[in-house]
Structure 1
Amino acid sequence: MSLAALAFAGVSSAVTVTVRPDREGPAVRPSTMAGYNFGNWMPVAEVRDSLKEVPPGALRFPAGNAGDESNLDAAVLGTFAAALTLMPGQPELMVQTRVFQGRDGRPAANAPEDAAAAVKLARERGLNVTYWEIGNEPDLYGPVRGDTSWTAERYCDVFRAQAAAVRREQPSAKIAGPAVSGAVPGAMKFLDTFVERCGDVVDLLTWHIYPTEGDGSDAAALTTVREADRTLAHARAVWADPKRNPKGHTRTIEFGVTEYGLSWRTERPRFLSDQTGALWAMETTLRLAKGGAAVAHYFAYLATGFHGLIDNGGGPRPTFYAFRLLSDLKGRFVDAASDNTGIWAHAVRDGDTVNLVLINSHATRQTVQVDAGAFAVRGARWFDAAIAEQEAEYGTLPAKPQLVLPARSATVVTLTRPAP
């Protein structure tokens, strides 16, 4: 039996998904739907053809802890500029400045003048940097890296000094931070203190989402997609509160997640290079995009342990299939709702075409009835673990309003409105 035919075995009672094409929401932004962390170790040249299928809409460099382990010197920024010439499109760029000393004892270029020098070097190498993010996960400098002097108050002082230096060199720069980790509850407490002390300086408030260590059940892991909604709501609430943000609550800023993944454990494949991790990443991306996040950088673009859409051998992982589907979405979000909490639905309209994303988080096949008014189903593409494992093409479903979604799968249904 073919992979597509398997989708029709073991049909369950129908779930109703309702789409309202005329109820528009935010526009689809490449900076949230196709944002990634990128480092100079990633094998861009070897996978150039594959990257055409998942072009980056935004890149954060030099990716995670690498930003606090190396200086932004001419060689590092020059290598990044060269790598960009091998990628499709012109992604929006974010560069992390160096803040932490590092572990090797060598002097770190982490003073305000070093941040300004990095801005100048980036400009000289043709890098059009929109955001400069000050450091990476400063809430972990004490508990993980062993320097307890790094409090939120100290980080804010460094943030102010580096932000001023960056703006002197690039007045148009948007300054991002504090890029706190996914640690619960410490990270958000750190962010809260940062907002209280530095709300008058930051332009993009950032944090990371890593809800597991690559353990636990698939079902439990998938429920953590709610972290996208929870953290975005928390950041907005803190920002708008005059008591918690006395210096900046009247300012209009942006919000973004500059690292996210179902697990932070780079050395563990579970929840990073498997189907569960792909479905979680896809749903989290969509929730952040619909929630109005200005940026969302998945960790990572390529071959970083078990992180990345493509492995060290050039093979596509399930996340490649997920982000490849997302890269095709253009237009504006419209209302889409499922009456089953395990079927996640999102819709994007571009003129007379609606693309409906259906993610079946259940471990069983599910039947879905699509109600989109005058818009009719014209076809559907889907993938599950078997398709990704075999590196096969997407499966297809018949152009009918009732669809059978394979277990733990993602499907994009194309609907069109008949001509009058």
Structure 2
Amino acid sequence: MPYKCRKINPWLLVLAVGFIALSGCAPKANEALEPVQLPPVPEGVFYIDPDIAMGKISPLVYGVNHGPWAIITEKILPLAQEAGITMIRFPGGNWGDENDLMPYHIDQFAMLAGQMGSQVSINVRLFNGTPEKAAALVRYANIEQGYDIKYWGIGNEPSLFATARGVPDYGVEQFNTEWRAIAEAMKAVDPSILLIGPELHQFGSDKSSTPKDPSGLDWMSEFLRVNADLVDVVSIHRYPFPQGSGGRAATIEELSTASTEWDLIIPYLRSLILEITGRNIPIAITEINSHWSNAMGGEATPDSFYNAIWWGDVLGRLIFNKVEIVNYFTLQSKASIGGYGLFARSDARPTYYVYQMYQKFGENLVFAGCDDAQIGIYAALDQQDGALTVMLINLGEDDITKPLVIEGKERTLVEVWRFDKDYLADKLDTRDFDNLEKILIPGQSVTLIKFK
């Protein structure tokens, strides 16, 4: 993997799969893996080769969660509209398995999504839910109201039902039966919908670190064996901290290395899907943040400045690993329930600005690499004019200066944007970057450089 700037396997397999457009066309799940030969990364430089195409970036990686408990006020709505959020999952978290979604919830949500220009996905109730209620929601949303909601999930983290919902024997076999009955009822109403599942909690990088049911069965493996014919996007959740019930919040040092786990988790999940189903089913991370708890006020808690630096690198890694949908948790949260939302009640938290930075990133990923463990580097070409955008994330405390080497034709630097403690996704003077032999990336920063 080239990111976080390590030595690269020159025959890394890259999934050649078409990504869904915002119009909601179906993900392609059966295209073959094609080997792409990647060059070694030169030492001591930020290296880009725009001629090595890594595939189109799914527009739905810039998503969030939202729910009826959260409020987008008139004051923060303009900021939300400027964030470039492409998909909203509703309702995020446990709410949907503890309450029945009502038509007015869908109406309010559809209005907000329309104001933000976002696609939507809706999760129907699984715990104490019924196929009839789920089908009724699809009928109301897509047949009666014409919202044409393409993406639907069923339940939330069923892998925790045995410990969190008072049903100690709840396992994957019961889940598979219930999930399938609801899925078939929903599809009977609108065969065009795309189903996301199984929405497992804390999925890891190998079979020893993935959820197991009370009988010891692997949740993901058994779900794929039974329901792969109905699921269109395979979904997992992941929060690296706290580690264990009641655990402490992460430090900056701990969070600075946590993003590397995605270079193991996604390849493992993709190989498992292929092994069991024989297909390359798209992957979604439908809940993700640095902490699953309501931690606030720490140096690396979700409301912190450093959480934004971590998230900038995580997004880059998920893009590189060709994830189809990413939903950050969440769009908004008031301080009394936790600092994990991009917005508090009346202002933006630091991680919001990462979305503003990635709005300027291109649509077609190209090869990038570096040999410095503190640097995340990602590059993409613009779909319209072919402009090259380079995202450089310094996870460490110290400034790093290196030459920026771009293979191929000569390009002109036209824009530089930065997020750090001094700049909130602000445009910088390009004259400070005239010398590509000495590009300085400040400690704990995200910098985007655009060339034409």
Residue identity (%): 25
Distance of 1:223 and 1:321 partners within structure 2: 21
CA contact (8 A) 1:115 1:165 kept: yes
2:183 matches 1:156: no
SS state of the match for residue 330, structure 2?
coil
Map 1:352-363 onto structure 2 (within 5 A). Answer: 352-363=386-397
2:48 matches 1:24: no
- Which residue pairs with 1:111 in the alignment? 130
2:369 matches 1:337: yes
CA contact (8 A) 1:378 1:399 kept: no
SS state of the match for residue 45, structure 1?
coil
The structure 2 residue matched to 1:93, chosen from 120, 125, 135, is 120
- Which residue pairs with 1:365 in the alignment? 399
- Which residue pairs with 1:199 in the alignment? 228
- Which residue pairs with 1:106 in the alignment? none
- Which residue pairs with 1:5 in the alignment? none
Residues 117 and 352 (structure 1 numbering): CA distance in 2 closer, same or farther, change over 3 Å?
A: closer
SS state of the match for residue 164, structure 2?
coil
SS state of the match for residue 318, structure 1?
coil
Distance of 1:283 and 1:393 partners within structure 2: 18
Once the two structures are TM-superposed, the CA of residue 281 in structure 1 deviates from its matched residue by 1.5
2:67 matches 1:39: yes
CA contact (8 A) 2:332 2:342 kept: yes
- Residues 198-250 of structure 1, C-alpha deviations (whole Å, 9 max, x = no match): 22322111001101126232122121112322221121111121xxx2xxx23
CA contact (8 A) 1:77 1:125 kept: no
Unaligned runs of 5+ in 1: 1-13, 102-109
- Which residue pairs with 1:229 in the alignment? 263
Residues 146 and 230 (structure 1 numbering): CA distance in 2 closer, same or farther, change over 3 Å?
A: farther
Distance of 1:163 and 1:186 partners within structure 2: 24
**What is the number of equivalent residue pairs in this alignment?**
382
Distance of 1:301 and 1:216 partners within structure 2: 21
Residues 21 and 44 (structure 1 numbering): CA distance in 2 closer, same or farther, change over 3 Å?
A: farther
CA contact (8 A) 1:96 1:135 kept: yes
Residues 86 and 355 (structure 1 numbering): CA distance in 2 closer, same or farther, change over 3 Å?
A: same
2:283 matches 1:263: no
TM-score scaled by structure 1? 0.85
Letter of the structure 1 residue corresponding to residue 211 of structure 2:
A
CA contact (8 A) 1:73 1:121 kept: no
- Which residue pairs with 2:443 in the alignment? 407
CA contact (8 A) 2:89 2:122 kept: yes
Map 1:228-307 onto structure 2 (within 5 A). Answer: 228-241=262-275, 245=276, 249-270=277-298, 271-303=301-333, 305-307=338-340
Once the two structures are TM-superposed, the CA of residue 330 in structure 1 deviates from its matched residue by 2.9
2:340 matches 1:310: no
Distance of 1:216 and 1:319 partners within structure 2: 16
Distance of 1:310 and 1:155 partners within structure 2: 34
Q: CA RMSD in A?
A: 2.1
The structure 2 residue matched to 1:63, chosen from 80, 86, 92, is 92
2:148 matches 1:128: yes
CA contact (8 A) 2:249 2:295 kept: no
Once the two structures are TM-superposed, the CA of residue 321 in structure 1 deviates from its matched residue by 1.2
- Which residue pairs with 1:218 in the alignment? 252
- Residues 300-322 of structure 1, C-alpha deviations (whole Å, 9 max, x = no match): 1223531122211x222211111
TM-score scaled by structure 2? 0.80
Distance of 1:303 and 1:310 partners within structure 2: 6
Distance of 2:398 and 2:141 partners within structure 1: 50
SS state of the match for residue 64, structure 1?
coil
Residues 254 and 70 (structure 1 numbering): CA distance in 2 closer, same or farther, change over 3 Å?
A: same
Distance of 2:220 and 2:306 partners within structure 1: 29
Letter of the structure 2 residue corresponding to residue 112 of structure 1:
P
Distance of 1:46 and 1:341 partners within structure 2: 40
Distance of 1:239 and 1:146 partners within structure 2: 30
Residues 44 and 195 (structure 1 numbering): CA distance in 2 closer, same or farther, change over 3 Å?
A: farther
CA contact (8 A) 1:15 1:367 kept: no
Letter of the structure 2 residue corresponding to residue 223 of structure 1:
T
The structure 2 residue matched to 1:77, chosen from 79, 92, 106, is 106
CA contact (8 A) 2:134 2:185 kept: yes
Distance of 1:293 and 1:203 partners within structure 2: 13
Distance of 1:268 and 1:219 partners within structure 2: 17
CA contact (8 A) 1:318 1:385 kept: no
**Which moved further from structure 2: 339-348 or 178-187?**
178-187
Once the two structures are TM-superposed, the CA of residue 269 in structure 1 deviates from its matched residue by 4.2
SS state of the match for residue 86, structure 1?
helix
Unaligned runs of 5+ in 2: 1-42, 213-217, 243-247
Distance of 1:79 and 1:127 partners within structure 2: 12
Distance of 2:386 and 2:147 partners within structure 1: 37
Once the two structures are TM-superposed, the CA of residue 393 in structure 1 deviates from its matched residue by 4.1
Once the two structures are TM-superposed, the CA of residue 360 in structure 1 deviates from its matched residue by 0.2
Letter of the structure 1 residue corresponding to residue 443 of structure 2:
A
Letter of the structure 2 residue corresponding to residue 338 of structure 1:
C
CA contact (8 A) 1:310 1:316 kept: yes
CA contact (8 A) 1:43 1:303 kept: no
- Which residue pairs with 1:347 in the alignment? 379
Once the two structures are TM-superposed, the CA of residue 349 in structure 1 deviates from its matched residue by 0.8
The structure 1 residue matched to 2:163, chosen from 123, 143, 154, is 143
- Residues 262-310 of structure 1, C-alpha deviations (whole Å, 9 max, x = no match): 1111243442011221122222122212222111111112235311222
Distance of 1:15 and 1:412 partners within structure 2: 19
CA contact (8 A) 1:382 1:396 kept: no
Once the two structures are TM-superposed, the CA of residue 82 in structure 1 deviates from its matched residue by 2.7
